[in-house]
Structure 1
Amino acid sequence: MLFRSFFILLVSVLFASCVTYQTFNMDVLMPAKHTVQPEVKSVVLVDNSVPFRGKDVHHINTLGSELSIDTIWLDAFSELTLLALKEELQRRNFFDSVYLHVDPLKKDQRFINRALSWKQVDDLCQQYDAQAVVAVEKYLYGTKIQVERMFDGDLLGYLDAGGAILWRGYNNLSQKVIYRETQKDTISWDVTGGNITQIANGLPAIKGGLGDLAQYLGEQAADYLAPVWETQTRGYYVAGNYHFVQAAEFVNAENWGEAIKLWKYVFDHSQKKVKARAAYNLALAAEILSDYESALYWLKEGMSVYSQLKKTVVVDDRRRMVKYFMYMSKRVNSVEVLKEQIGAIQ
Structure 2
Amino acid sequence: MHFKYCKHILPLFFLLLFSCTTKKTITFETLEPATKTISPSLKKMLLVYSPDNLRMRMYINDNDSLVYMFNNSTQEFFPEYFNVFTEKNTAVGKFQSVDSMSFMGEFNSVVAQWLCDDNKADGLIYIDKFYMAALFYELYGLDAATKGKYYMENLFKSGIKIFNGRTGNFTHDFSMEGKWGFYEKKLPEDTVADNYPDLIKNISSYVADSSFSYISPYWKTNQRKIVVTENSGFKTAWKMAGENKWDEALAEWKKYENCKSKRVRNFALYNMAVYFEYIDNLAKADSLMSVVNAETKSPLFIKYQKTLSRRFVDRRVLKVQMGN
Q: Judge same fold: TM > 0.5, yes or no.
A: no
Question: Which has the larger strand fraction?
Answer: 1
Q: TM-score, normalization: structure 2? A: 0.27
Q: TM-score, normalised by structure 1?
A: 0.25
Larger relative contact order, structure 1 or 2 (CA cutoff 8 Å, min sep 6):
1
Q: Which has the larger radius of gyration?
A: 1
